[in-house]
Amino acid sequence: MTTASTSRETAGTPREGVTPFEVHVTDEDLSDLRERLSRTRWPDQIPGSGWGYGTDRDYLRDLCGYWETTFDWRSVESRLNQWPQFVTTIDGQQVHAIHARSKEPSATPLLLLHGWPGSVMEFLSLIGPLTDPVANGGRAEDAFHVICPSLPGFAWSGPTTEPGWDAARITTAMLTLMDRFGYERFGVQGGDWGAVVATRIAAAAPERVIGLQLNFVVTAGPIPEDGDPTAEEQQLLAEMGAHLATGSGYVAIQSTRPQSLAYGLTDSPAGLAGWIVEKLHAWTDCGGDVETAISRDEILANLSAYWFTGTIGSSTRIYCESERSGNGGPLPEAVTVPTGCAMFPRELFRPSRRWADRHYSDIRRWTVMQRGGHFAALEQPDALLTEIRAFFAALA
């Protein structure tokens, strides 16, 4: 890969208004979390119902007991702080980002974008292999400079303080962030809302985007001109229908009345865990045991990022703001930049290739993955790493 910056002397150099940052949770906040967990008022559950009505109480009690007595936030904090982090103000909003530069001079800048209910914690195991491929089974030419922001309203970029932070406004903020770090051209990778924003970045500034790699492909379904769906498309439509029928209630709430939901989730760590863990259980390729897909410590690291920053309410507002503005779905015009799609089998929505071609006119790589679900960077980091490397290597 070749460097994609304006000049090697200035690329990646934070500009005025970008301040170094580290995460430091106080001892008082840690004690408060443990005390709240110890005083959780647990609801009833119908015996034997398991996950049938939502998060299983027995599992959640065990997880929260571990969070209270055993989980080591300080080790997570150290792991996070090993990477350079920065904050800057864009459009009146604080934006936090990990900015880890490779030692390889020809490294390609890569913007990694998370979604909901994720955070930058998803990408911690990828940053080392991306920035230092030689030490992690790759080649020097596979190197990336990694820019991994917390989306406005999430974790250390939040909470948002005014209306209007929809996917379109976040897109503009991310382009400004890349300017602040001195990158004229760069690659983009994303899933969930990160894929929505990544797609919008590619559409808004195609001259700046080297390539777009997605593990969640933002598309509409079939149109009348398609004729009868293929057998594969019938299966995909059945999967989408099942999710909409039984697993999309959170979208309705978060798109309409996120503030009402925020009170309970901000006040109760067990409530926060109950809301998010249900999604992790349902959206991962876990066979009914979420911890076979995402480790207990990874689950709690992500929950803790929301808890200590008090951003669960503002994170859910991305649904409401984007719904009200109409900026949360597929774009009317196809994205023209080179695109790579990693199709994980347990993803929430999986389009067929011809549906995707209507929205991305230059798909260079379409890979049907063997395992994994919605949280690719956590569930299958090695497979996602391989896809990122292969896609961008082919563009060199």
Tens-digit pLDDT profile for residues 188-228? 999 999 999 999 999 999 999 999 999 999 999 898 889 99
Show the CA angle centred on residue 193, arms to residues 61 and 298, nearest 5°. Answer: 35
Say yes or no to pLDDT of 344 above 80: yes
* pLDDT of the residue at 2: 36
Say yes or no to pLDDT of 9 above 60: no
The reply to whether 374 belongs to the active site is yes
Residue 33: what residue type? L
* pLDDT of the residue at 3: 38
Domains and CATH numbers, the chain: 18-37+57-393 (3.40.50.1820)
* 10: confidence class by pLDDT, cuts 50, 70, 90: low
The two three-digit tokens of residue 200, written as one number: 């919008």
* pLDDT of the residue at 386: 97
Say yes or no to pLDDT of 86 above 80: yes
316 phi-psi bin (left φ>0, alpha ψ -120 to 50, beta other) = alpha
Say yes or no to pLDDT of 1 above 80: no
Q: Strand 209-214's sheet: what is its strand order? A: 18-21, 85-90, 93-100, 144-150, 108-113, 186-190, 209-214, 339-343, 363-368
Q: Do the beta carbons of residue 185 and residue 110 sit within 8 Å?
A: no
Sequence-distant (≥ 6) Cβ neighbours of residue 77 within 8 angstroms: 23, 24, 25
* pLDDT of the residue at 358: 96
* 11: confidence class by pLDDT, cuts 50, 70, 90: low
Summary mean pLDDT of the chain: 95
* pLDDT of the residue at 8: 47
Q: Cα–chain-centroid distance for residue 191?
A: 5
Q: Determine the Cα–Cα distance for residues 143 and 140; give it in Å rounded to an integer.
A: 6
The reply to whether 192 belongs to the active site is yes
Q: Determine the Cα–Cα distance for residues 88 and 314; give it in Å rounded to an integer.
A: 18
Over range 242-247, report the average pLDDT.
94
For strands 144-150 and 93-100, give the pairing.
antiparallel
Q: Do the beta carbons of residue 251 and residue 319 sit within 8 Å?
A: yes
Q: Determine the Cα–Cα distance for residues 110 and 378; give it in Å rounded to an integer.
A: 18
Catalytic residue from among 59, 183, 306, 319: 319
* 396: confidence class by pLDDT, cuts 50, 70, 90: confident
Q: Cα–chain-centroid distance for residue 200?
A: 15
Over range 87-105, report the average pLDDT.
98
Question: Which DSSP letter does residue 144 get?
Answer: E
* pLDDT of the residue at 142: 97
* pLDDT of the residue at 5: 39
Is this model's pTM higher than 0.85 or not?
yes
What share of the chain in percent tops pLDDT 70? 96
Say yes or no to pLDDT of 139 above 70: yes
Catalytic residue from among 99, 281, 359, 374: 374
Say yes or no to pLDDT of 336 above 50: yes
Say yes or no to pLDDT of 77 above 50: yes
Catalytic residue from among 192, 281, 306, 360: 192
Over range 42-55, report the average pLDDT.
97
Burial of 206 (0-12, 13-18, 19+ CB in 10 A): middle
* pLDDT of the residue at 303: 98
* pLDDT of the residue at 15: 72
The two three-digit tokens of residue 111, written as one number: 């913007």
Residue 184: what residue type? E
